[in-house]
Amino acid sequence: MRVKLEVNGVTHEREVEPRTLLVYFLREELGLTGTNVGCDTTSCGACTVLMDGESVKSCTVLAAQADGRSITTIEGLAEGEELHPMQRAFREHHGLQCGYCTPGMVMAAVSLVTESPDLDETHVREGLEGNLCRCTGYHNIVAAVLDAARSSREGAW
C-alpha cells in the first residue's frame, strides 16, 4: 500500500507492506536510525517519536496508521545547529550514557513538557514511566526535564 508521511518537515511517499511498523518505516525506508528499538512489548519507549506533536511508540503504530500524519524524530528536533532546549538540558545534566534510550526519552520528555510545562518531580517521573533507561538511574534525566520545563515556562521554547 502507498503511504505519505511528513517526517521532520519533509513529505515522503512510499509503497509499504501493511504490516510495516512506523519505526521500521523511519529506520529502513527513510534511514532515520536515531529512533531505536529496545523491546517488542511496547514497554521501553526507545522508539518514541512525535506524531502530530504527541509522543507515540513508533513500534506500536503501523506506517499505514501514520499515513497523512506529521512525524518528528530526534533528527528533526534541533533547529539547524541550535539544540532544542530539551536536548541542551540532557547534555548539561548528563542525562545520557550509552545513548540508546536517549532519542525516545527526549521525544517523550518534549511531549510531556509541551502538554504540561508546570510540572514537578513526581509528575516528571510518572510522565516518563513508559521510557526505560538502564544507564542513568533516571536521576539526571529527571533533572534535565525539570530544567527544560523551567526554560519552557520562561518562554525559551
Partner 1 sequence: MIPASFDYVRPGSLDEAVSALAEHGDEAKLLAGGHSLLPLMKLRLATPSVLVDIGRLGELSYVNDAGDHLAIGALTRHHDLHHDPVAMHHAPLLSFVAGRIGDPQVRHRGTIGGSIAHADPASDLPAAVLALGGTLVARGPGGDREIPADRFFQGFLESALTPEEVLTEIRVPKATAGHAYQKFVRRAQDWAIVGSVVARVDGRVGVALVNVGPTPVRADAVETALAGGASAAEAAELAAEGLEPPADNNATPEFRRHLARVLTARALAEAGL
Partner 2 sequence: MSILGNRVLRKEDPKFLTTGGTYVDDLPLEGAAHVVYVRSPMAHARIRSIDTSEAVSAPGVVAVYTGDDVDLEPMPPGAPFANPAMVRPWLAKGVVRFVGDMVAAVVAETREQAVDASELVFVDYEPLAVVIDPEAAVDNETFVHEEAGTNVVFRIPEDFVSVGMAPPEAATEPPGLFEGCDVVVRQRIVNQRVAPCPLEVRAAASLWEGDHLTHWTTTQAPHAVRGSLAQTFGVGEEQVRAIAPDVGGGFGAKIGGYPEELLVPWIARRLDRPARWVETRSESMLSLGHGRAQIQHAELGGTRDGRLIAYKLGVIQDSGAYPGFGAFLPTMTQMMLTGVYDITKVFFTDISVATNTNPTVAYRGAGRPEATAAIERMVDIFAAEIGMDPAEVRRKNMVGNDRFPFTTPTGTTYDVGNYEATLDRVLEAAGYAELRAEQRRRRGAGGPKQLGIGLSSYVEITNGIPGSEFGSVEVLADGRARVRTGTSPHGQGHVTAWSQLVADQLGIAIEDVEVLHGDTDLVPRGVGTFGSKSLQSGGVAVFQAAEQVVDKARKLAADLLEANPNDIELDKTNRRFHVAGTPSASKTWVELAQASGDEGLSAEVDFAAPGPTFPFGSHLVVAEVDTETGGVVLERIVAVDDAGRLINPLIAEGQVHGGLAQGAAQALMEEMCYDDQGNPVTANLADYEFVSAAELPSFETYSMETPTPINPLGAKGIGESGTIGSTPAVQNAVCDALLALGVRHVDMPTSPIRVWRAIEAAKGKK
Q: Catalog residues that contact partner 2 under the rule CB under 8 A.
A: 17, 19, 27, 31, 33-44, 46, 74-75, 77-78, 83, 87, 90-92, 94, 96-103, 106, 121, 124-126, 128-143
Q: Which does 27 bind (CB under 5 to 8 A by kind): partner 1, partner 2, none?
A: partner 2
Q: Which does 83 bind (CB under 5 to 8 A by kind): partner 2, partner 1, none?
A: partner 2
Q: Which does 64 bind (CB under 5 to 8 A by kind): partner 1, partner 2, none?
A: partner 1
Contact predicate 38/100, CB 8 Å:
yes
- C-alpha dihedral over 55, 71, 42, 136, to 10 degrees? -60
Question: Which residues of the shown chain bind partner 1 in the complex (CB under 8 A)?
Answer: 1, 17-19, 21, 24, 37, 40-43, 45, 48, 51, 54-57, 59-62, 64-65, 108, 111-112, 115, 126-127, 129-131
Query: Residue 2: helix, strand or coil by DSSP?
Result: strand
Nearest approach, Cβ of residue 65 and partner 2 (Å): 18
Nearest approach, Cβ of residue 59 and partner 1 (Å): 7
> How deeply is 113 buried, as exposed, middle or buried, from its count of CB atoms within 10 A (0-12, 13-18, 19+)?
buried
Closest CB to partner 2 among residues 33, 68: 33
Contact predicate 157/88, CB 8 Å:
no
CA torsion sign for 155, 117, 145, 9 is: negative
Q: What is the DSSP pairing of strand 2-7 with strand 70-72?
A: parallel
2, three cell numbers: 502507498
Nearest approach, Cβ of residue 50 and partner 1 (Å): 10
Nearest approach, Cβ of residue 24 and partner 2 (Å): 8
Grid look-up 545534566 returns: 93
